[in-house]
Amino acid sequence: MGVKRTLLILSLLIFGCTKEAPEKLPIPTGDEPKIPIDFGGGIINTKAPIVSTSGIPATQIDGIQVLRQVVSKNGSPNWSTVSSVTATASFFPYASVPASNIFNFVVTPKQYFDGSKNNYAHFTAYYPGVNENAVATTIASGVATFTITGQEDIISAPSVNAGGTNNQLIPVNFVFSHKLSQVQIYVKAANAGAMTTWGNVTAVKATSATRLNLTVSTQTLTQHTTPVVTDLSTGKSPQALTTDFVSFGSILVYPGALTIKVTTANVPEQTVTITPSITTVAGSSHRIDLTFTATAINFSATLADWVTGTSGTGTVQ
């Protein structure tokens, strides 16, 4: 009879922070026929893996997709009619124009107010863009479609009104939020015997929908009408177990019930079913601690803070 084995799972919910929008810039003056639109400091309601401090990214983000609609000053944009990207943007971790009030969000090509004082410009934005970080992305009729790999974030910002030539509501401040949930994987062995029993950890996966639609007008991320569900991996190389928790990477998943699959050098892939199931939350980072023992395979789980914690057990033979 083979040796029974144990995994103990503990999940913790981790939170980020937000930042108040910066003050508006002074209204530009001059007689230029085309008045440029300034974009202020973008803001991220932050969660890893796009890490930020007070809403500013820790590293530069390129390939942000910017959409624009011009409507009458009393009207509202109809994003469902948009099937192309107006511009791209870079989000810098520092002022893009030093010693100025121009912050860290640079849009290319430069945007200008409409020539008519009765027309207002509206903008919205999302990331990643077309083939950014190997993500397949398209947009049609106000819906952006992504095919994720588990190693990239999806962020988006609601529509912002920039105003018109006579009422310039600038800078245009985007407030980005995360649409996926991050699963952080940590592994350890209970003792030396468990290390021998299991061998190196070779793969940890999370099951997720991977073809996703972002409806621009509502900022809602949903599964595509033709669903695709895939086991997404941390992508880490095989790693030896130790008696201390060590990171085995992270996976970005579509929010929902969480299923984890584990493979080691000595044990084929096993599905870890948490009972009751943990539901991952958009914009939240869930830490999953996997403890390998060499006695039985029991599972327990808790989810704390934002979501009321629950606990449960399960057995995998």
What average pLDDT does the segment 266-270 reach?
92
What is the per-residue pLDDT across 6-18, written as a single tens digit (0 to 9) for each?
444 444 333 333 3
Q: Identify the CATH number of the domain defined by range 43-178.
A: 2.60.40
Six token digits for residue 278:
């943990």
Instruction: Enumerate helices (H) and strands (E) in the chain, giving the number of each.
Output: 1, 24
What is the per-residue pLDDT across 175-194, written as a single tens digit (0 to 9) for each?
888 999 999 899 999 889 88
User: Does pLDDT of 30 surpass 70?
Assistant: no
What's the pTM value of the predicted model, to 2 decimals? 0.79
Q: Identify the CATH number of the domain defined by range 6-14+180-307.
A: 2.60.40.2630
Six token digits for residue 24:
């508006």
What average pLDDT does the segment 150-167 reach?
90
Sequential DSSP letters for 186-246: EEEESSHHHHHHH-SEEEEEEEEE-EEEEETTTTEEEE-SS--EEEEE--PPPB---SS-E
In the numeric block, the tokens 């398209």 are attached to 138
Six token digits for residue 113:
């107010």
What is the per-residue pLDDT across 97-112, written as a single tens digit (0 to 9) for each?
655 555 588 899 999 9
Q: Provide CB contacts within 8 A for 4, sequence distance 6+.
A: 294, 295, 296, 297
**Number of Cβ within a 10 Å radius of residue 34:** 12
If one compares 257 and 2, the residue with the highest pLDDT of the two is 257
What is the per-residue pLDDT across 55-76, written as a single tens digit (0 to 9) for each?
778 888 888 999 999 999 889 9
Domains 6-14+180-307 and 43-178 share a fold: yes
pLDDT, residue 125, reads 94
Tell me the pLDDT of the chain averaged across its residues: 79
Radius of gyration of the chain (CA): 23
Domain borders along the chain are: 6-14+180-307, 43-178
Supply angle C-alpha 92, 96, 97, rounded to 5.
170
What is the number of residues in the chain? 317
What is the per-residue pLDDT across 111-146, written as a single tens digit (0 to 9) for each?
999 888 899 999 999 998 876 666 778 999 999 999
- Residue among 64, 26, 55, 71 nearest 169 (CA): 26
Per the CB < 8 A criterion, the answer to whether 171 and 25 are in contact is yes
pLDDT, residue 85, reads 93
pLDDT, residue 171, reads 81
